[in-house]
Amino acid sequence: MKIYLNGKLVPKGQAAVSVFDHGLLYGDGVFEGIRFYAGRVFRLDDHVDRLYRSARAIALTIPMTPDELSLAVLETIRANGLQDGYVRLVVTRGEGSLGLSPKSCPNPTVFIIASTITLYPDEMYQRGLKLVTCATRRIAHGALSPMVKSLNYLNNIMAKIEAEQAGAGEGLMLNEQGYVAECTGDNVFVVRDGRIVTPPIAAGALAGVTRAVVFELARSLGIDIREENITRYDIYTADECFLTGTAAEIIPAVELDARLIHDGKPGPVTLRLTGLFRELTRTTGTPIG
């Protein structure tokens, strides 16, 4: 396996960062997870744009242009001879001294891993996931914008541990007001009376790339889709529920807190979207070259 590290492709065994890297010491950095299918990178520009926005929000200057970074992603995939897989793109504050200040970090670290990812077994896509509500709340805007895809994922990891302890596939995270924000690594949608609703970004949801694709697909089908605050009640009583994420794609959720959602089976709107999403991932995207 070849890893892109600060402008070079190096063997995995040599792809090492310093123990003084603030990405490691403080979680000071940003990242993206990107998928490629059948030799094309899905929504590469959207991911690169979000990475630059995340970096800007934390006052981190990425030492290359978005075009250069996109080319580096393609180069890394090619170097590994892959056609289908997952890319992790990471920019950290870089090596510095001990102490929080980023002033001691003149050179951000950029690395790109091209590999594969399987988040859930096939069976879960057919049967649907169980969700539980986590006690851990989604990080508040006043602490760190939940829009920033930072290397600080402890909040979500604590929630993921709760979900796993409860035997659930994913954990539902609420914001400080008690409204639904999202899941630990996915956005959440409900369907009721043929209408699709998802929490607004302001509720603490990440502006997911897959989430945006669902808006496009729903509109192309003439299905009403909107952002509205929702509570757990809205999920308990929904006709359908599904989650979206780069790794998870679109996955049905059929239970929340031991209550079946409708009949506890993936619903027709979810299945339609899943089919269209699959088609889109296999027919669009930036060719890896």
Encoding tokens for residue 193? 């009376």
Q: Does 136 bind ligand PXG (CB under 6 A)?
A: no
> Are 108 and 52 a contacting pair, CB within 8 Å?
no
For ligand PXG, the binding residue among 54, 80, 175, 244 (CB under 6 A) is 244
Footprint on residues 186-205 left by ligand PXG (CB under 6 A): 186-187
Is the Cβ of residue 109 or residue 187 nearer to ligand PXG in the bound state? Answer: 187
CA–CA distances in Å: residue 217 to residues 24, 61, 220, 224, 277: 38, 34, 5, 11, 8
Of 196, 173, 279, the C-alpha closest to 242 is 196
CA–CA distances in Å: residue 142 to residues 21, 55, 139: 26, 18, 8
Q: Kindly state the smallest distance separating residue 31's Cβ from ligand PXG, in Å.
A: 7
Q: Kindly state the smallest distance separating residue 171's Cβ from ligand PXG, in Å.
A: 11
For residue 180, the number of C-alpha atoms closer than 13 Å in the C-beta half-sphere is 28
Paired with 92 in beta bridges are 29, 109
Of 196, 246, 274, 251, the C-alpha closest to 50 is 246
Residue type, 65: T
Q: Which helix (H) or strand (E) holds 112?
A: strand 109-115
For ligand PXG, the binding residue among 28, 182, 240, 255 (CB under 6 A) is 182
Is the Cβ of residue 105 or residue 246 nearer to ligand PXG in the bound state? Answer: 246
Catalytic residue among 130, 149, 160, 265: 149
Q: Kindly state the smallest distance separating residue 175's Cβ from ligand PXG, in Å.
A: 13
Footprint on residues 26-65 left by ligand PXG (CB under 6 A): 33
CA–CA distances in Å: residue 135 to residues 53, 172, 235, 263: 29, 9, 17, 26
Footprint on residues 97-116 left by ligand PXG (CB under 6 A): none
Q: How far apart are CA 48 and CA 70, in angstroms?
A: 7
Tracing tokens 């989430």 back to the chain, one arrives at 211
Give the binding range for ligand PXG (CB under 6 A) out of 103-111, 231-239, 244-252, 258-266: 244-252
Footprint on residues 145-164 left by ligand PXG (CB under 6 A): 156
Q: Kindly state the smallest distance separating residue 28's Cβ from ligand PXG, in Å.
A: 17
Q: Does 206 bind ligand PXG (CB under 6 A)?
A: yes
Q: Kindly state the smallest distance separating residue 90's Cβ from ligand PXG, in Å.
A: 11
Give the binding range for ligand PXG (CB under 6 A) out of 5-13, 70-78, 105-113, 179-187: 179-187
Give the binding range for ligand PXG (CB under 6 A) out of 73-81, 191-199, 234-242, 245-253: 245-253
Q: Kindly state the smallest distance separating residue 186's Cβ from ligand PXG, in Å.
A: 5
Paired with 31 in beta bridges are 90
Is 12 a known active-site residue?
no
Q: What angle do CA 137, 141, 146 make, to 5 degrees?
A: 70
Which residue numbers are catalytic?
149
Residues at the site binding ligand PXG, with contacts judged by CB under 6 A: 33, 119, 156, 182, 185-187, 206, 208-211, 244-247
